A and B are shown apart, each in its own frame.
Chain A
C-alpha cells in the first residue's frame, strides 16, 4: 500500500479541461494531514497507518510507539517486570540480622533476573559464622522454586560480609564471603562460605545486597 494516494495530473498537462490546481492542492492537503498526525494533532484511519510506523503517542506519559497493524506497541519496561520481594526461607539457626534487613528475593521475567537483598546472621544472638566451609542457608521445598535455577545451572558469586562488632573500633572490620547458587531436587539451593578469620565473633552477618543471577 503506498504511503500516499496522490493525484497524478492526467495528460496532457496543459489541457484547459484538466483542473490541475485542485488536484495539486489536494495532494498538498494530504501531506498536511499525514504530517499533522506525526505532530500529535491529526488523525489517521487505522488502515492508513503503515505497519512499523513509529510515532510519538501522548497518552499523558509521552510514549514512543510502533503500529503493529492493529495496535500501538510501546516499549516494555524493565522496572515493571519485578515481582514483589519475598522472604527467603532460612534454615535454622540462620535469621535476619536485624529488623529491616530480612533476606528476600525477587525476580524479573522481562530480563530473567533474580535479585537478593538483606542480611543473614548466625542465630538471634549473633553467633560467629563458621568459616572455611560451605553452609546451606536455604533449600528444600520452601526454598526459591527451581524455575529460578541459574541459567548455567550452577553459579558461584562473591558477596560482602559484615563489619564485626567485636572489632575495635566496633564494626570497622570486614571479611569476605562467597555465595553459591545451585539446584537441589526441589528448589534453588543457597550456600555461603564465610572467609572470616579475624577476632570478631558476635554480631557479624553476611549481606546479600547486590547478589543476582540470570535464570
Chain B
C-alpha cells in the first residue's frame, strides 16, 4: 500500500500498488482543489461569524464581506485552539454600536450611533471616529443652551483619555437654518450635547444630532 503526505494527505502509491484511478489519482486532484485556493487566495464569505462556520486550518484565508475585512486561521500555540486573526496593522476597523441614553434613539435604522478606532489595539495614538444620527424621544426639538447627556457607557476603547470637545451643527429656528452645537466626549464614557440657538418652530427634519465627521485623538 502507498502512503499519504503528512499534512496535505496526498496519496503516494507504492511501487507495487495497483493504482485505482478514481480513488487514488482523482482523489489527489480533488484534495488539492479544496485546499490550494484557501491557501493562496482570500475566499469571499458571507459568514459574519467565521468560527465554526468555515473550514479552519493554518493559513486558510477568508474575505469577510460584511466588514470587508481579511481573516486568516492559525493554531494558537498557547491555547492549542484554531483561531481567526487579522493583521493588526492592515486590518479594517469594525464599527461598534453605541447605545443612546434614555430619551434618545436612532434617527432611522441606517443611522445607528457607531464608533471605530484606527490602529488596532486601543493605543493612545489612535483616532476615534463616530458616525450616526440621533433624535429625542418622542420626536421633539433639541434642547438648547443646556448640558444634555445623550449617551453613556461608551466602551473604553472609544473614549478619549481626557475630555474632547468637537463642534457640529444642529437645527435652528427657521427651515434650513442651523446653529452651532458641541459634543463633549468624556473620559468616563459619556457623550454630552450643547446646542446654541433659539427654540425651533416645527421643522422636524432638523431635530437630530449628526455625528458625521466627528473624530478625535484618543490619547491625552
Contacts and interface: CB of A to CB of B under 8 A. Distances in A.
Contacts of A19: 15
Contact of A35 (B7, B88, B162, B215): B7
Interface of B: 5-8, 10-15, 17, 28, 32, 35-36, 39-40, 57-59, 61, 70, 72, 74, 85-90, 118-120, 123, 125-127, 145-147, 162, 164-167, 180-182, 194-196, 214-217, 219-220
B165 A160 contact: yes
B181 A174 contact: yes
A78 B126 CA distance: 9
Given A77-B119, A117-B216, A176 B58 contact: no
Contacts of A80: 89, 119, 125
Secondary structure at chain B's binding surface: helix, strand, loop or mixed?
loop
B43 to A, nearest CB: 14
Interface of A: 19, 21-22, 24-25, 28-29, 31-32, 35-36, 38-41, 56, 58, 61-64, 74-80, 82, 85, 100-101, 106, 115, 117, 119, 158-163, 167, 169, 171-177, 195, 198, 207, 209-210
B74 A40 contact: yes
B194 A172 contact: yes
| 3 shortest interchain CB distances as A-B pairs | A79-B119, A160-B167, A176-B180
B40 A159 contact: no
B196 A174 contact: yes
Contact of A25 (B12, B35, B74): B12
Contacts of B88: 61-63
Contacts of A56: 59, 61, 72, 74
Contact of A32 (B5, B17, B85, B127): B5
A106 B218 CA distance: 13
18 contacts: A35-B7, A38-B39, A62-B74, A62-B85, A63-B89, A64-B72, A64-B90, A74-B89, A76-B89, A101-B162, A161-B167, A161-B182, A163-B182, A171-B147, A174-B194, A174-B195, A209-B165, A210-B167
